[in-house]
A and B are shown apart, each in its own frame.
Chain A
Amino acid sequence: MAIQRCSQARSIQSLWLTGDWFGRLSARKGRQRSVHMMRRVFIAAILFVAVWAPSLLVAAEAGRADLMGKLCGDAASLGDVGRALVGIAADGSQDERAWATPVARAVIDRKLTCDTKGAVVISGEGSFDALTREQRVAVEGGRSPFLNLKNRALFETAVAALALRTAPDPTQRGAALRTLERQAAGLPEHLFEAAAEQESDAGLRAQMTAVAQAAALNSADPAKRIGALKRISATPDRRALTQVRALVADPAYAGDPEFKRAVDAAIATIERGITAGDVLAALYNGLSFASILFMAAIGLAVIFGLMGVINLAQGEMIMIGAYVTWMVQEGLRRLAPALLDWYLIIAIPAAFLVTAAVGIALEAILLRHLYRRPLMSLLATWAVSLFLINLVRVTFGTQNLNFVTPFYVAGGVPVIGDFIFTWNRMFAIAFAVLTLGITWGLMRLTPLGLNIRAVTQNRTMAGCIGIPVRRVDTMAFGLGSGLAGLAGLALAPIYSVNPQMGQNFIIDSFMVVVLGGVGTIVGTVVAALGIGQINVLIEPMWGAVAAKVIVLMMIIAFLQWRPEGLFAIKGRRK
């Protein structure tokens, strides 16, 4: 690698020495014919810059002096200066904009003094000449130009337009954009396009593009409007639809058939895009909801399948997982701030092990004695859930915990319409898939999984052939609790984390287990997907509550048909 770089440097050196830059480059690519052509263009460009740049510079200098003169003139000429400053913001070079920014600001603040030698900008660090930037003090007897209401508005626009291009802080540029947005029609059309092009902040750039498009839509030139329509229908969303719909009332819509066609086509395209986006968004939301349901339910399913015990404290295991994640985050903040963004990954073993330990303790102390009394174990686990909620409430307080949003779960990619492929949901989905993979692997490929399956199918028989049933129970309970802890971790960045959070999942995840059938991973997956998607599909029609009611009714009805759930292990019905 080093040798290669070295030889590259040498060849570049030789290129400079021989002056045969293009020749060498294109010779290597084997495109001899274009060499002369390119060389010619290159030379022409150099000539152009050499001849024209100084003259441009001179022209700018002359323009500035002229502006300074007008700045110290009457109200009408001040207005001209305001418009010219807006023009500079849109068309001027970077140098010109840097020059104009303090001048425009100073006029508004009355920090500009006109004297016999020109104009002086008074500032805290020392006054300087407005034209030449040289340090100097204003000559006695100077006066500040006075802005009337109309000119003040003009200058404020100019300051905002300049800030849009030159301000270093994105929030300042955002504020400037909001000021300018309201009067976009009166501004040079390409101001926003130019600003959007050089904008570094993605969100702000999207806003700028939107404003630019809106400005182009209302421009006087029909060709430009049609062009803007085409561009706007390439990114269909609800905002674009309202913008384009408003054009139907435009006089040009009735008068110009070509414009009418363009508007109609744009509306159709945008509506198609929005529908596609809505469908995708519903599917995506359903998938992410299903993955959360799955993670909350898989631990429950393992435990229920194995021991016939419904663990009402499972929601609290989720809560503990989220709290452990938070503690890992706070620990990293103190000890290794550089790793703070990775707390979600680092917390994975911690969340799993802590909740698994809590689960094992719960099993050993309490549930071990209740295996033949499943209804009592319901009450016992509820007592544990009550205890844990209040313990956490007393220790940490009831307020929601604050989580850092790491860069890998922040933001999203707008796909089509209003559908944004958000990374935090993707994180939940990916995490659920990972959990599924690990659980499946554990259950299918390890001796523990084999034992768990054996005890699930026939506890007595498994005991007879020498499987340590009690130990399998304990391990499985730990596994189920640990999986719930992982669900808590996945929920941490997308859900409000407080002592009560587990309560919201518990009934939904029971429904998943009951619907999926006892002790089958496939059943849990299918039930979670089904409930998640149905919920999300019904929600926009009748609301979240109706969705829950309908889903529950469907589950009860379904249990009529298959009382043991979707994927029951075949056996005799009692």
Chain B
Amino acid sequence: MHETREVFRLFPQALQIAFYLVGFATIFYFLFGSYKIVQKYRKGRPAGRWNQLGARFMKALGTMAKHSTLSKRNKYVGVAHWLIFWGFVVLFIGTVIVALDHDFLRFMGVHLLQGKFYLWFSLFLDVFGVGFLVGLLMMAFRRAKKPPELDYTRPDLPQGKYDRKPYVTDDKIFLWLLFFIGLTGFLIEGLRIVGDNYPSFEVWSPVGWMLAHALDALGLSAKANTIFIYTWWFHAVMVLGFIAYLPHSKAMHILVDFANLMFKDDLAAKRLPKVTEEKMKEGMGYLKLTDFTWKELMDFDACTKCGRCHVACPARASGAPLSPRDLILEMRTFSEIKAGTLEWFMQAESNGWTNKKEPAIAGDVIKADTLWACTTCMACVEACPVGIEHLTTIVNLRRTLVDEGNMEDSLQDVLMNIGDYGNSFGQSDRMRAKWTKELDFKIKDARKEEVDYLWYVGDYASYDQRIQSISRKVAKILNDAGVSFGILYEAEKNSGNDVRRIGEEGLYEMLVEDNMAALEEASFKEIFTTDPHTLNTLKNEYPEFGGHYKVKHYTQLLIELIKSGKLQLKKKLDYTVTYHDPCYLGRYNGITEEPRELLQLLGVKLKEMPRNRTNSFCCGAGGGRIWMDDSKLEKRPSEMRIEEALALGEVDCFIVACPKDYAMYSDAVKTSGNEGKLEVKDVIDLLEEALS
């Protein structure tokens, strides 16, 4: 027999026509659904992501091909999804070729699916078809073991006040529909092969070949052709059903996610967007759906409920009412209800706000407590395999809460202090450099003398007693090494990083203005700081306001000094330590290796915590949380981190490189009852020892 496949084998004309009718109807329904999705995004504001389209496309393509974001820290899922994804793609392309061949090329006298081409085609599809099913089974198996990522328990509502069954139904339908499409596909193959009485070339469809024998063994060969038609229709109905279902379920991620990855910004969340003059007239934060950018609106739909952000979030882990996943899904439900495109299995009952005529996005749809729980650590953005930027949505909604004055009293007080005195401690700005008095030399005033390095000290390093001693150590060591550096004394104000992330954009702009004016007055080549928060905003955000500076972390400077011989290490240290990557240094700005290099030069033995580098676990102080009440948390993130360190076994010291980390972890060691078991030290403490 000629190597080919008969399309619509055994189908009477009427049935073929019926199929085409239903098929076209389904495709139109699908297109309409997809159109409505795109319409939703078009209502959003511009996102400025159309730059470098070529590079963006190639990068997204690479990510998709390698599944790098999925395999990250979870090889099992990476492999399973790769199988499902490429299986789906190959089978889809295969089906398209069949349709093309039968519906178009045939009339031009071309017939692709025959001969050698058809043989390889069959094999290829069979192999990927098996991979497809294996991948799906891997996922089903994982799901059955109830991994924490797939726990849909909401942290912001008590049990009984919400129903997650629709989510689970959607998940199950998605998985099993695809599985049975694949399975019936193979069945059809087997039935055809046994019905055609095993044409020799069909051995190139090995699965079908084996199934055919199995069917034979079950004694079904006589009825094969009858069963074939039914199975074919069953398969077709499921496929068409899937197509119709796609834009109305989590399956829409198939359409949305490549685009979402393509339009992702590397600087997202690291550099928060300004509020335009236009927008300022209505309010600083997001009030309506049309305030969101189209990328943010797309973010809501891109979510596949994979749960990685849910598991990575330190707020959720500590019992706060925030799950980044739930926030995105809630926004999705809201935007769907507004657009009239609620997914098939989604509930309209959600969080109690659906009863209101005009629910406030910040406050009703997403509760204020949820928004305030965020530490802005960016673990969610880093973990998300499909490029969702949860943080910009959170900050933009916080801007609305700030506008309304909807925040804790303690936070209010701190913002007032920063506004009045330029620091979060509420102390006089004239006291900012008081910590330098105990040094036996005077630090240069960069406003009056030219220096190589401007040291941007920061609030905690200036006003907190514990951190002041660390600042003095840094000063002494740099002075001994002959480094030319200076500070701004009382002209320095809070850099504004956390103020911006709290959502007080007006105060942030005021701080930027004042700080840039002070920096203008000073003469220096580069800036260094011991504070990663300061580093982040000076480096990533000040340029948009006209402030272009070279900014380093002090660990980077210290390595340079050691390598150039300006600092002579007198001894190697004998400790076993673990290093905690500060969120704003490691995850935000990619500076993970220099501090480790420094530790290596000091001779200590480094044991890594399970969550390290860009997967570091936040101390819980960021986003203004250090100024908010944490008494309602089940367990502070900082305490959980200390326990993570202690679980390593023989560790003497917990090394930090950020003032807030030092404060948080010193307290956490005490409050978790682990005093004496672990010493919290700053990098400079070790260096001081090694230099003496």
Q: Do A and B come from one complex?
A: no
Q: Tell me the A residues contacting B by CB distance below 8 Å.
A: none
Q: Tell me the B residues contacting A by CB distance below 8 Å.
A: none
